[in-house]
Amino acid sequence: MNDINDINEIRSKLNAKGAYNKTNKEVITDWLAHDCAEQFNFGLTLMPKKVFAHYVEGKKPDRHLKKRELETASNRFVDKLNSLVYTKAYARYNKKLAVVMTIEGERSYKDLHTHFALSKPTTMCCIEFANLVREAVDLSGDFWIYDPNFKLDSSKFNEQYRYKLDITDDGWLYYITKELDKHNIHNLYLP
């Protein structure tokens, strides 16, 4: 009986300090940013291509991907990247990169796009990893590499790319989880 009183006393002290007041989003974001930050050293944003909607006489209208389609395309990209990075070890032993993926744009009414936090293998240099990411984007076929509306006379050549790969810190994990709901974390994927 004494143990139960001790446990209840500990719970009441923790509750008074706000231990049980965090939302699911805060718990997940804190866990990713504090406990997993050193594992993820690259951030990636991918913009999906538009897909053929239906044929209208004389026109070929396109539409944006729906969330479920973007989720499937993003998982296909991760599979391609894993097979390029680990080649036979991915096929034989299911060796994979550590990846966190979020789909953004649903709540903010922007074009849907995917953010990734990726772990580069320690045996691979940054340039080699960046080349494999670009090759996986190209092979997946679902995401833009170049902006089709980019004008060559523009002085900002980095705007021609529709994907962005960069070295990150723990702030990236906070950034990619900004659109998660307080209680429902349906846009977060931990493959």
Q: Which residue has tokens 């897909």?
A: 51
Please list, residue by residue across 85-98, b when 16 or more beta carbons sit within 10 angstroms of its beta carbon and e when fewer do. bbeeebeeeeebbe
pTM of model > 0.85? no
Amino acid 142: pLDDT: 84
Q: Of all helices (H) and strands (E), which one includes residue 87?
A: helix 67-93
**Residue 158: both structure tokens together:** 């980095």
Residue 47 dihedral angles phi and psi, to the nearest 5° = -105, 125
N residues, the chain: 191
Q: What is the pLDDT of residues 132-150, one digit of tens each?
A: 999 999 898 888 777 666 5
* pLDDT single digits (tens) 49-102: 776 555 556 666 666 778 888 889 899 999 999 999 998 888 889 889 988 888
CA–CA distance, 111 with 178 (Å, rounded to integer): 16
4 token code pair: 């139960």
Q: Is 162 exposed, middle or buried (0-12, 13-18, 19+ CB in 10 A)?
A: buried
